[in-house]
Amino acid sequence: MVLASIIIAITAITLTQVPSPPQAATSTKAREVQELREGLALQQQQRDAEAIAIFREVLRQRPDFAEAHSALGYSLGRQNDFAGAVSEFETAIGLQPTLQEAHFRLGVMYWLSGEFVRAITPLRAAVKLRPGHLESHFYLGRCLQQTGNLREAITELRRAATLGPKLAEVQSALGGALAAAEDFEGAEASLRRAISLRPDLIEARNQLGLALIEQRRADAAVTELEAARRLAPTDRATLHNLGLALMQKADYNAAIASYESLLRLAPDDAEAWYNLGLAFKYKDDFAAAIRAFEKCIALQPRLQEAHYSLGITLLQQGVIDKAIDAFRGAIIAKPDFAEAFYLLGTALQQKGETGEAVASFRKAIAIAPLSPQYHNTLGNALRQQGDLAAARAEFAEAARLNKLKTDAQAALFATNLGIQRLNEGRISEAIERLTEALRLDPDNATARRYLELATRRTNRSGKSGKTGR
Amino acid sequence: MMIGLLGLGAGIAAIAGLGWQAPEVPRVTISNVAAAAGLKHRTIYGGEQKNKYLLETTGCGVAWIDFDNDGWQDIFFVNGTRLEGWPKGVGREEPPISRLYRNNGNGTFTDVTRAAGVGRTGWGQGVCAGDFDNDGDEDLFVTYYGKNLLWRNNGNGTFTEVGEKAGVAGLRTRWGSGCAFIDYDRDGRLDLVVANYIDLDLKTAPTPESGPCLYKGLMVACGPPGLQGAKNILYHNEGGGLFTDVSAKAGIPATSGTYGLGVLTSDFDNDGWTDIYVANDSAPATLYHNKRDGTFTDIAAEAGAAYSGDGKPQAGMGVAAADYDGDGWLDIFKTNFSGDTSTLYHNLGTKLGGLVFDDVTFPSGIGLNTRWLGWGCGFPDIDNDGWPDILLVNGHVYPEVIRLNNEAGYPQRKVLYQNLRNGSFRDITEKVGGALIEPTASRGAAFGDYDNDGDLDVVINPVNGTPALLRTDSETGNNWLTVRLQGTKSNRSGFGARLRLTAEGRTQINDARSGGSYYSQNDGRVHFGLGMATRVTRLEIAWPSGTVDTYNDLPVNRLIVCKEGDGGK
């Protein structure tokens, strides 16, 4: 809801700048231009129905009037006639490919209808035709972010932020993109700037809360999201995110309270039921967790996580048959759900259906071959079937994969300590740690880079030492 | 495991069909009498608010030991230190030292640490007791981050530290953890198994900030994953007060498990040779199968006792063994991290061609608790009904969690599971209440009958706190028998002996053992609850030497001393 109002506000600002008078070569044309202006005036007063009538009249007289098509498209869009709007913008572009506003509006129209990939082409054209048009950069950035092109998205949003440094919405969007790219420091700076510009910008507070959750800074996230809740006590996104932060903080009672508040506002919010179930499960209130998961599934049968968590909770209680049903539900919802195959296998094995369990473990491994626990459970099932040699092979593979994980962790510690020592000027210790990191994890690019740096520093100090002597 | 679960399920159904009812919550009272009993010292271990290294988190063990042979169980508490140390000087606080308390036989204890000469300071860890020199009194082995100590009991109320001389002190850089005396080769002398946790070098160890290491958003001590795991050690007792490190020859390093903590010794495959189970932190557990030729093989993975039922390594801490379902095979209970469950491995025996365990955590009812972070644990038959119950003590690893609004907190309550006699358990902690509910930052816990009244009590060594002594008082009217062993051909402590007791047509088994729980030593006497049985039909003791003693028609509610070779006389 908040987002939509931002979009309309920005687009409306654009419209006040759009009506550049066409080149009036004849008196007829001059009349049509005059009529177009009258329509635009009505449009500015939100009197779109009247404006549409005028634009249609203008176009009846002059069907190749590109600006009029664009103006008509805009009013149609505001009347929720997206198809009509798109058609008018496309006609305008066909008539006048350099008409930047038509490209821009077409892009925004696609954005509003969630067609982010289709929005990118007209928005790129809008940026190209009018470099420095803040809104075009802004929407292009947002669409690129939505399609996963974070690098370009951040470039466009940075450009928008440069053009409109006081626009909180732009700072907020930039912060969101930076957070998505895991540049949490940059994200936090942008989002805090957005909040300082507009303390009531709930979207920015939510983005900041999520960024802090990503960094596992649960206390700080709760602080931001509590502030957002005070500003907008019924904002659903805020209550969702606050619940997440409270769960991360292990404050399950408060998380439950947050989700229950949300569900009073939106009783059919399946994700809220799911998160409520998780909070109950974390505090070992299994009956309440199961009720919440079942409610979630009733509302959204395709939410695989709900089936999965329900299965785990039932398994934990030793309710094997129902757990099996739940895991099968998760697999129906997501046919490549490796964890669900693995736990289905575990439940089947507990029930004594070893053959089916083996098949399920093998499916899990086919999807995610690097999970050691899948190999262990397969090994157990094979041993149960009497195939000790195959079982041992699976146990050995699990042990190998576990070792890779612990070695990677050790390499991370050694790398970070090496960097710290390097920063402290303790070069030989840094080299020792970074070398150790590479021994444990030869693909560790960070360790390699810093080791090269440390070695260069050693060489430099060695050379300067010689010169000094 | 299919067979185990099907068997269990069928069993429940069959019993239910015959009108089986869950037993009532036993009429027992559990009170913390530590202060009144005179256990007032404070165990110091690492920073109280924040820990820089994992070294500050593991805490200390505790041992029941009748060091003066007066028939009353005395207590030895290991103690720790702090990173900043305890500078010496006039007016400064005395450094924390291990403590020995003599049982006065009237419910109170006297601190005899200084007279006994066992008051050492340092990063004390685990403790185990056993008569390693077969001189008739129990000795102590104490592990450290640093050199381990072997306290030889002089038989006159004092001890002499002989670790270096005996060859078991180890290296100064080693982090000894759980330990147990074990006569693995049945030569009549107690050998020694010592788990080691991490090869920790504080100069290169990551700190919470450098790691960086986060737990639920909090900066906490790093590890153990990412730190160099240490290798366990087996010392062979050569006699004459000397031990030899036989780890390599015995196959001890050949295990994928590392970060060893709790050590448990028992004969899991009923072949008469003691095996070794090690709870490893964040790694698969190790089950050293005794091959009867002086060597061991880690069979934990293929025996189904290395991982959780869903194939994941767990943060193993404490370990206990008992035949909880009366099928003649010793089962294993292991405590783990919070957010996980403790694990109950049901021993299916060797009928599948090799020793096999089945993780029955969930079907047995143990899997319902995930909030507690468990340490010391045992299978005390708390109500003497003849069915071992489970008690675990808890406390979070990280003191920083006090900043989380987490119900479990840093100090945590204990958990008591009642054995429902059908393969499942019920959490009765809140029903029994009392001292069980009191939150404690517990670590070591040892089970024993300190007041010789026939029910099992618990002593707990916390971190940065005073000990708890949980006295059990029972109104069940159930009977009991406690057996003290005295080996002659076998080791004097009788460790490794298998006891098989039959009363009213029901047979129970247990082993005499050293070590167990978390870093701790239980009462070396073997206790049996007998329910309403008024006579013990038969008690069979299979000694490690091969001698089998049999006692028939024994009276109940008493302690008996069984000397090897005297059976039936």
Distance separating alpha carbons of residues A114 and A147, to the nearest angstrom: 11
Q: Report, as an integer, the average pLDDT of B93-100.
A: 91
Q: What is the ipTM of this complex?
A: 0.84
8 Å CB contact between B44 and B441: no
Domain termination site, one of A106, A135, A164? A135
Residue A161 lies in a domain: no
Q: Is the pLDDT of residue A11 over 70?
A: no
Distance separating alpha carbons of residues B222 and B51, to the nearest angstrom: 10
8 Å CB contact between B415 and B392: yes
Please give, one letter per residue, the 3-state secondary structure of A361-406.
HHHHHHHCCCCHHHHHHHHHHHHHCCCHHHHHHHHHHHHHHHHHHH
Q: pLDDT tens digits, residue range A142-191? A: 999 999 999 999 999 999 999 999 999 999 999 999 999 999 999 999 99
Distance separating alpha carbons of residues B488 and A134, to the nearest angstrom: 93
Q: pLDDT tens digits, residue range A88-130? A: 999 999 999 999 999 999 999 999 999 999 999 999 999 999 9
How would DSSP label each residue in A142-169? HHHHHTT-HHHHHHHHHHHHHH-TT-HH
Q: pLDDT tens digits, residue range B500-521? A: 999 999 999 999 999 999 999 9
CATH number for the domain harbouring residue A62: 1.25.40.10
Report pLDDT for A284.
83
**A433 reaches B (C-beta below 8 A):** yes
User: Total domain count for chain A?
Assistant: 2
3-state helix, strand, coil split of chain A in percent (to 5) is: 80, 0, 20
Q: pLDDT tens digits, residue range B519-537? A: 999 999 999 999 999 999 9
Nearest to B424 by CA among B3, B43, B5: B5
Q: pLDDT tens digits, residue range B417-427? A: 999 999 999 99
**A290 reaches B (C-beta below 8 A):** no
Percent of chain A with pLDDT over 70: 92
Q: Is the pLDDT of residue B64 over 80?
A: yes
Q: Is the pLDDT of residue A468 over 60?
A: no
Distance separating alpha carbons of residues A93 and B357, to the nearest angstrom: 74
Distances (CA, A) of B516 to A29, A409, B379, B386, B447: 98, 30, 11, 21, 10
Q: How many A-B residue pairs are in contact by the CB < 8 A criterion?
A: 143
Chain B interface disruption, residue of A376, A394, A439, A441, most B CBs within 10 A? A376
Domain termination site, one of A102, A135, A168? A135
Interchain proximity A384–B313, CB inside 8 Å = no
CA distance A100 to chain B (A): 48
Interchain proximity A402–B256, CB inside 8 Å = yes
Burial class (CB in 10 A: 0-12, 13-18, 19+), B13: exposed
8 Å CB contact between B181 and B514: yes
Residue A291 lies in a domain: no
Residue A81 lies in a domain: yes
**B363 reaches A (C-beta below 8 A):** yes
Residue A51 lies in a domain: yes
> Three-state DSSP class for A287?
helix
Distance separating alpha carbons of residues B426 and A429, to the nearest angstrom: 54
Interchain proximity B216–A249, CB inside 8 Å = yes
Chain A interface disruption, residue of B201, B213, B307, most A CBs within 10 A? B307
Domain termination site, one of A92, A114, A135? A135
Report pLDDT for A262.
96
**B227 reaches A (C-beta below 8 A):** yes
For B502, the token pair is 């039959």
Give residue A426's domain range.
411-463
Distance separating alpha carbons of residues B130 and B188, to the nearest angstrom: 13
Residue A10 lies in a domain: yes
Please tell me the pTM assigned to this model.
Answer: 0.81
8 Å CB contact between B154 and B132: no
For B564, the token pair is 């090897």
Torsion of CA B562, B565, B567, B569, to 10 degrees: -110
Residue A198 lies in a domain: no
CA angle B379, B381, B384 (to 5 degrees): 170
How would DSSP label each residue in B291-341? -SSS-EEE-HHHHT-SS-TTS--B----EEEE-TTSSSS-EEEE---TTS-
Distances (CA, A) of B207 to B214, B220, B222, B230: 11, 8, 6, 19
Percent of chain B with pLDDT over 70: 95
Q: Across the beta sheet with B233-239, what order do the strands follow?
A: B176-182, B191-196, B233-239, B242-245
Residue A13 lies in a domain: yes
Residue A418 lies in a domain: yes
Tell me the residue type at A319.
V
Q: pLDDT tens digits, residue range B164-180? A: 999 999 988 899 999 99
Shortest CB distance from B226 goes to which of A252, A379, A409?
A409
Which residues from B are below 8 Å from A433, CB to CB? Answer: 204
